Amino acid sequence: MPGEVNSIFTKTLIPFIEREVGPDGVQAILRTAGRSREYLMADHNWISLALATQLVRVSMELMGEPDEERWARRLGEDGMNWKPREERSYIGTYTMAIGSPQGVYERIETIYSAHTRFYTVKLLDLGRGRATLSWTPAPGYVVPLWICACNKVALERFPTNWGLPRARLIESRCAAKGAHACLWDVRWKNPSLGPRFWWATAAGAAVAAIFWSVLGRILAVPGPVQALASLPLAVGVTLGIALREIERRRHMQRMLDLQSDEIIYSNRELDGKFRALEGQIETIEELSRGLEDKVRIRTEQLRTSNEDLQAAYRDLQTTQMQLVQREKMASVGQLVAGVAHELNNPIGFVYSNVGTLEDFVRRLRGMLELYRSEPLPDAQRERLQGEWDTRKIDYALKYLDSMTQGIKEGAERARKIVRDLRVFARSQDEVWQPVDLHEELDSSLTLLNHLLKDRVTVHRKLGDLPAVECIRSQIDQVFLNLLANAAQAIAGPGALTIETRSADGFAVVAIADSGPGIPAEVIGRVFDPFFTTKPVGEGTGLGLSISYEIAKKHGGDLRAESPAGAGAVFTLRLPLTRTGRP
């Protein structure tokens, strides 16, 4: 039908969006088109020009590209690159098999009539290295700017199929900019005779020169000398032409192989469609046998759809809860950052003044000793000694240094807690950076000290672990979840063992507790969202699930083990360097 575009367009668009945006972008394209991916990736299907233009608008929004011509040129460049078979169209293989750029431009009317039905392409003039082409829209249609840009890129890129420079395109008129038709002049370079031809010719010329020199000295007659000397040159030229033809035949054979692959692939596609059609016919025949079978099959379909909807609803709930948990963590992070900032100044004031206080105490102690060493009358000395004893100055001086040291240690500990809080409250932006996991473990243990103090002994078996490229805030969250679960699993006094090592390009962190362990019947569900063994109201069941997803996002994994009578062991493996880098 007029006004249609072949699915070769969407066969180029979908992989392009998948690489530039991702799977979500492809889903947006499929929703807009109202078609399946299989339909849009099949060469023999067609879509309307209006829908194609709508898909272009959606793609530009997904990629954040406001310039239509610049976006279309990017699409055209991507479309002209060599593709895997499932992304390649028969038009691409056909143009490569033609043999030369001139042959492609000579057949341009045939090529473009195969995938557009709203404009007419005419070859107005053709030379060995130039061609003049016109694109005229059908009555009632306007050529979109994106189609002009894509076509220009294709015309420029055709010579590159043979390793030649891009063609130069000169635009005289453009239908997308108000002209009644596009008028383009294309200039290109044709393939040379090739290095094999020139090497053979050069070798023949060299041998001919040697013959000329040698035979010229032996034979005094010029005619025979010229005839004999020209034989190697003729042989070299003939050999060069033969080698060139051999290379051309090899190229043609490769093109024939590609075309054979196209035929086999198309045959398989058709065979699959015929099989699917036969299956549909059989299904229709079965449905037509009786109303009871129809109702039963429909009921089964509804049951399956209901199960899918329930699974999708559960997934949606999981996603929503994870988002809520993430927002809560972000809010807690902001609150903790504010509290840490407010505490930092007074604690810094206390810590900085402790040294001054110690100095002042030393001075006062020195002055007291100096006063006590001064000679005084017995009556005054007895009165001062009585006052000294009454005020317990010896006791105060005895414990003053230890109290000052205690204040200093408390202030230092408070400063460390504030530092760790500020690390925990760091920005939630997903910034990948090298991180010392040992420092993050120490910070997490400091924040969880209220769960461990005077009850749980922490054993560290820290190996030689290099910095790990990760998102610090997310790994902190994993450590807090694992350490908190381990501490809560120990009902009374117990031990918690942290072991780190490097193995096969991964950082391995194992956290073991001396608690009762995890029952064998539930250990396979500990990473399921909302699953928890804690009493109602004490856990959301999302901590381990979120930790598992974070580990997977980093290209690692998180495993749970519970050896008999040995508590639980959670092992986190993270790649030392970021995987899947864009």
- Give percent above pLDDT 70 in the chain: 69
Q: Is residue 439 scored above 50 in pLDDT? A: yes
Per-residue pLDDT tens over the stretch 54-90: 999 999 999 999 999 999 999 999 988 876 666 666 6
* Long-range contact pairs involving 408-415 (C-beta distance under 8 Å, separation at least 24): 408/351, 408/354, 408/355, 408/358, 411/347, 411/350, 411/351, 411/354, 412/351, 414/343, 414/347, 414/350, 415/344, 415/347, 415/348, 415/351
Q: How confident is the model at residue 415 (pLDDT cuts 50, 70, 90)?
A: low
In whole angstroms, give the CA distance from residue 151 to residue 114: 14
In whole angstroms, give the CA distance from residue 102 to residue 187: 10
pTM equals 0.41
The residues, ordered by sequence, that sit 6+ positions from 48 with a Cβ below 8 Å of its Cβ are: 3, 4, 5
Per-residue pLDDT tens over the stretch 219-249: 554 555 455 556 666 666 676 666 666 666 6
Bigger pLDDT: 582 or 557?
Answer: 557
Q: Is residue 323 scored above 80 in pLDDT? A: no
**What is the structure's pLDDT at 276?**
74
User: Across residues 537-543, what is the average pLDDT?
Assistant: 61
Least confident of 11-25, 322-336, 347-361: 322-336
